[in-house]
Structure 1
Amino acid sequence: MGLISKIATNDGHGENSAYFDGWKAYENDPFHPTQNPNGVIQMGLAENQLCFDLIQEWIVNNPKASICTYEGVQDFQDTAIFQDYHGLPEFRKAVARFMEKVRGDRVTFDPERIVMSGGATGAHESLAFCLADPGDAFLVPTPYYPGFDRDLRWRTGVQLFPVVCESCNNFKVTKEALEEAYSKAQESNIKVKGLLINNPSNPLGTILDKETLKDILRFINEKNIHLVCDEIYAATAFSQPSFISISEVKSEVVGCNDDLVHIVYSLSKDLGFPGFRVGIIYSYNDVVVNIARKMSSFGLVSTQTQRLIASMLLDTIFVENFIAKSSMRLLQRHGLFTKGLGQVGITTLKSNAGLFIWMDLRRFLENSTFDDELKLWHIIIDKVKLNVSPGCSFHCSEPGWFRVCFANMDDATMKIALRRIRHFVYLQPNKGVEVATKKQYCRTRSKLEISLSFRRLDDFMNSPHSPMSSPMVQARN
């Protein structure tokens, strides 16, 4: 092992967490409706598969957008030859316009500030290289996406320092929590170079309101540290309140230093294109733009992909139709799933964005410990055969919370998953139907969704009023 670098062999990738172990359990025994009906259903992957029919329809109607068609093959040579790391001008323009549309045209983006990267993973690592030195830290509100440990830490030597958020205020990011985390980092002689926020939140599915965003901007300006805003779920907001980008708020904060503000974006979640590896850095800092553009040589988006994406996203009618229908379908699917959980008394954090739900299973723990959370998780993986992700893998401060994804499967698979959950709950000693006591839940539990209708789940799903009746795309099997 001494012949291999220490960076390559350290455990900073984070692959040994329960989050990735759940994926492995699915890969070893994947559910299939006919070939493996008792396999593990993948509910740990935040993928948006609800609108592929819209994408496919556009591709069929626009064959010139691809060099792999008779109509587009004449552009093969120009696409195949070398392109510099600035990216195609039409690609940068198209992404900038799409980012504006997602934000309701309330803000404009300069295509010259669009820096491409190999997915949001590459974008985060590039920003970490640009903004911090090994040993420096970014503050990150908990719970947060497990992949951040890999993206920002593994090869850069940068640390992530938790800003502890709690269920008693629905995991809201507060000024007090930010100050406390910053003070603790200083006490530990850790240099804080920035704050990383995820808006909308993964795993919470919540959005940050304008006042919280203003508080965050005031905080980073007072401390003179950078703000990295991961906004990759921007177009997944499916109900009010609407998503607000940091780009809309910064002009409202007196004395805000734009050089400290950076946005990470991608097309993996909003369009459902994780395989295309389209990541974006949008920085208001000229130096960061120039450096990040040089670094993008290590994670370019293929010219073929750029060409296709540019043509698609510059189609204004398609984009507006897609955003509207995607939001509608996410709302329907979210409603179907939370209704199904409510049938058996499972509560969830109230949310209106993302591709997942933050599910509260605290009352199923024998003891309020992370060891017991993992025991429960193993039962759900091994016996219930659902890959959901335990809160400890998201660095949650309280055991018993789980992230469950709802947009990466077809309606039939969702129905099977809900049946398995119902069967699991009914096997518990308390049958899982009584409302929890105040001691078990936070004082602000009124903001938690509790749906305890005991009408038969099958009756609801098969009703003509059910979201099941909406046109959904069959998941890949």
Structure 2
Amino acid sequence: MTSQQQLSKRGFSAAQKPMRVDLEIYYKALENTYHPIDNPKGSFPMNMAENHLCWDMLRHKIESVTREKPIPDWVSSYGDPAGVPSFRETTAAFLSEFLIGQSISSEHLAFSVGATSVIEMTAFLLGDEGDTAVIPAPSYPVYTADIGTIPGLKRHNLQTHQEIHELANGFPIKISQLEAAKAEIEALGSKFRMLILTTPDNPTGGIYSQEQLQVLADWCIDNGTHLIVNEIYGLSRIDISHPEIKDNYPNPIPFLSFANLMAERKSPFLHLWYSFSKDLGISGFRIGLVHTYNEALLGGYRNAGLSHAISNHTQWVLQEVLEDREFMKEFIASSQAALTQSYVTVVRQLKALNIPYNPSYGSLFVWLDMSEFLQENSDQGQEDLWLELFNKTGILLTPANGFGHQKKGLFRMVISGISHDDLEVAMERFRIFVLGKRQ
């Protein structure tokens, strides 16, 4: 009996499609990571969106909680699948103070195990199988699996620009582009069910202005389309006033959480995603949430979410950490300073090498253009360059495959997964590679 006969159609499809194209090489790089003494010729995995810059600081805090605090009785019992009340209240207060800037109610939050689960659950509850989610390109490759594998939604990559420099003044997304996408999707017999934005963006590091979000929200409400804004990098912001990079932002765009606009409109078509994975560097904790004023969505989330519920112990530990506001204030400031230092280290070298990149406002990435080194302008040419860089330098970037953008030769560099000292070594190897290619 073949594997196709052993599985359902969905199971066979899932078995045939790797979650992302760089996983196999990522595991190879992890087995040979750089160490200045023990492994000076080792690799630099810079493709996985993890933030290790201030983990030691947070780890000490978590260790003190688990060592000094008594575990409450509710930890051992069943709880609300959408998050136990005390954890929802603590998170609402944290988001209100640090991300949003105004108070939100815990009654408008629902939790599940990580951002992936939140995306999957939201898509499952808002869309029907065969509906379409529109996502401006380039964007997070694994959105495709998150909305597709179980919910059964399709992904439409909206091409808003061709070259990196077109992002200089923000995302060039227009209502006419949404109208065209809607007509194309409906002509194919599908429904434009949702528009997904990420701000700060993965991979470009750009942000959407409040004016843009207002226009897009109005269009979505008028068309009965759900607008979901993912702020998973909302506190992973770059200090754009840093003297080495401030000239990259002649018309700076202020970050303002989409939750503020949601509070004004209170529309059932406006939603926000968040997770602690990136801003706190705890992707292994698996804590994500949706913020919405759509009562039916919250009810469905609670009723269908038992298999996605977060461990009560995990909720308790993070609740204790978040309630220490002074610690969180210090942690966020330290994390943003460390992230800015990493960013400056990278773009300093890119500037010196005249490698185009998009000035980032936040996220854990630099989105750079290495198309000048393509042997052929194709997916294969892009993959060949990606592998050549890894084989010659040990630097593993995320290739643009799956980001949905038409231009070839663009790559995402994760700047938060290795120490500042190691990043200096990696960028020196990158410099030697670029100069060698040009010669």
TM-score normalised to structure 2 length:
0.90
1:120-155 Cα offsets, whole Å, 9 max, x none, are: 000000001100111111111111101111111111
Q: 2:77 aligns with which of 81, 93, 100?
A: 81
Q: CA deviation at 1:243?
A: 2.1
Query: What are the residue-to-residue correspondences of 1:125-140 with 2, within 5 Å?
Result: 125-140=120-135
Query: What are the residue-to-residue correspondences of 1:31-430 with 2, within 5 Å?
Result: 31-59=34-62, 63=64, 65-66=65-66, 69=67, 71-72=68-69, 74-75=70-71, 77-103=73-99, 105=101, 107-166=102-161, 167=163, 169-170=166-167, 171-239=171-239, 241-250=253-262, 256=265, 258-430=267-439
Q: CA deviation at 1:286?
A: 0.1
Aligned partners of 2:259 and 2:118: how far apart in 1?
Answer: 18
Q: CA deviation at 1:293?
A: 1.5
Root mean square deviation of aligned Cα: 2.1
AA aligned to 1:248 is N
Q: 1:12 to 1:207 in 2, by over 3 A?
A: farther
Aligned partners of 1:135 and 1:299: how far apart in 2?
Answer: 23
Q: 1:362 to 1:218 in 2, by over 3 A?
A: same
Q: Say whether the 8 Å CA contact 2:345–2:424 is kept in structure 1.
A: no
Q: Say whether the 8 Å CA contact 2:50–2:417 is kept in structure 1.
A: yes
Aligned partners of 1:59 and 1:158: how far apart in 2?
Answer: 38
1:77-124 Cα offsets, whole Å, 9 max, x none, are: 54223333243222111111121223252x322112221101000000
Q: CA deviation at 1:11?
A: 4.1
- Structure 1 runs not aligned, ≥5 long: 431-477
Aligned partners of 2:20 and 2:48: how far apart in 1?
Answer: 15
What is the aligned-residue identity percentage? 26
Residue of structure 1 equivalent to 2:250: none
Q: Structure 1 stretch 25-34 or stretch 261-270: which is displaced more? A: 25-34
Q: 1:77 to 1:103 in 2, by over 3 A?
A: closer
Q: Structure 1 stretch 122-131 or stretch 149-158: which is displaced more? A: 149-158
1:363-385 Cα offsets, whole Å, 9 max, x none, are: 11233333211111111122222
Q: Residue 393 of structure 1 aligns to a residue in which SS?
A: coil
Q: 1:372 to 1:27 in 2, by over 3 A?
A: same
1:400-422 Cα offsets, whole Å, 9 max, x none, are: 11000111111221122112101
Aligned partners of 1:408 and 1:307: how far apart in 2?
Answer: 27
AA aligned to 1:129 is F
Q: CA deviation at 1:196?
A: 1.0
- Structure 2 runs not aligned, ≥5 long: 241-252
Matched residue pairs, number? Answer: 419
Q: Residue 394 of structure 1 aligns to a residue in which SS?
A: coil
Residue of structure 2 equivalent to 1:463: none
Q: Say whether the 8 Å CA contact 2:231–2:272 is kept in structure 1.
A: yes
TM-score normalised to structure 1 length:
0.83
Q: Say whether the 8 Å CA contact 1:373–1:400 is kept in structure 2.
A: yes
1:248-298 Cα offsets, whole Å, 9 max, x none, are: 12466xxx5610011111100011110100011112100000111222211
AA aligned to 1:149 is T
Q: Residue 149 of structure 1 aligns to a residue in which SS?
A: helix
AA aligned to 2:46 is M
Q: Structure 1 stretch 317-326 or stretch 81-90: which is displaced more? A: 81-90
Aligned partners of 1:99 and 1:313: how far apart in 2?
Answer: 10
AA aligned to 1:175 is I
Q: Residue 280 of structure 1 aligns to a residue in which SS?
A: strand
Q: CA deviation at 1:14?
A: 4.7
AA aligned to 1:81 is S
Aligned partners of 2:149 and 2:82: how far apart in 1?
Answer: 26
Q: Say whether the 8 Å CA contact 1:137–1:158 is kept in structure 2.
A: yes
AA aligned to 2:141 is P
Q: Say whether the 8 Å CA contact 1:141–1:165 is kept in structure 2.
A: yes
Aligned partners of 2:30 and 2:18: how far apart in 1?
Answer: 15
